[in-house]
Amino acid sequence: MKTAFALLGLAFATSAHADPGNLDMTAFFTGRTHADNVLKVAFKHSVPVVVDSVGGKGDKGDFVLIDTVHEGDKPVRTRKWIMRQVGPGHFTGSLSDAVGPVDITLNGKTAIVQYMMSGGLKLRQQMDLQPDGKTLVNHVSVTKFGMKFGSVEGKIRKLD
């Protein structure tokens, strides 16, 4: 099964105790990031999922993020995001793991990412900016026919 989660944005904090403000979709993922997660799929053992990403502005004014995904014992794979802002707090785009468009909405310190995967799997990811301004708590739910099929829990850290 393809890893069911996504990675997107947050703002930088000026100090470890400062309020980092609202999420900024591209500021966090410009440069390098690292995510440590655990994937839980129904009736299977949990597996670690580590994602190292590099992001920046694309040649068409969009935002491009390249993920290197290490999922348990599976071969390492790469996936690509291409995102563009379509309104205040709203982004859309594509992901190599998605079937159809990716939709991202922002509300304060929270981002919600939603898209469909092959096999009729619906992904909903919630990322919450932490007080350090350099960490997102990552919660992903994957459903099919309204029933939970899997989840991802973890943290995403800004490296640059």
| Residue 35 belongs to some domain of the structure | yes
> How crowded is residue 15: how many other Cβ atoms within 10 Å of its Cβ?
9
Beta bridge partners of 122: 116, 143
Which pLDDT belongs to residue 19? Answer: 58
| Residue 4 belongs to some domain of the structure | no
- Residues 120 and 49: their CA atoms lie apart, in Å, by 22
| Residue 18 belongs to some domain of the structure | no
Domain count, the chain: 1
pTM of the model: 0.84
Question: What mean pLDDT is predicted for residues 75-101?
Answer: 95
Domain extent for 37: 31-158
Is residue 116 within 8 A of residue 145, CB to CB? The reply is: no
Q: 105-119: per-residue pLDDT in tens?
A: 999 999 999 999 999
| Residue 62 belongs to some domain of the structure | yes
| Residue 23 belongs to some domain of the structure | no
Is residue 38 within 8 A of residue 48, CB to CB? The reply is: yes
Q: 3-46: per-residue pLDDT in tens?
A: 333 333 322 222 334 456 888 878 888 999 999 999 999 899 99
Is residue 100 within 8 A of residue 116, CB to CB? The reply is: yes
CATH number, domain with residue 114: 2.40.128.20
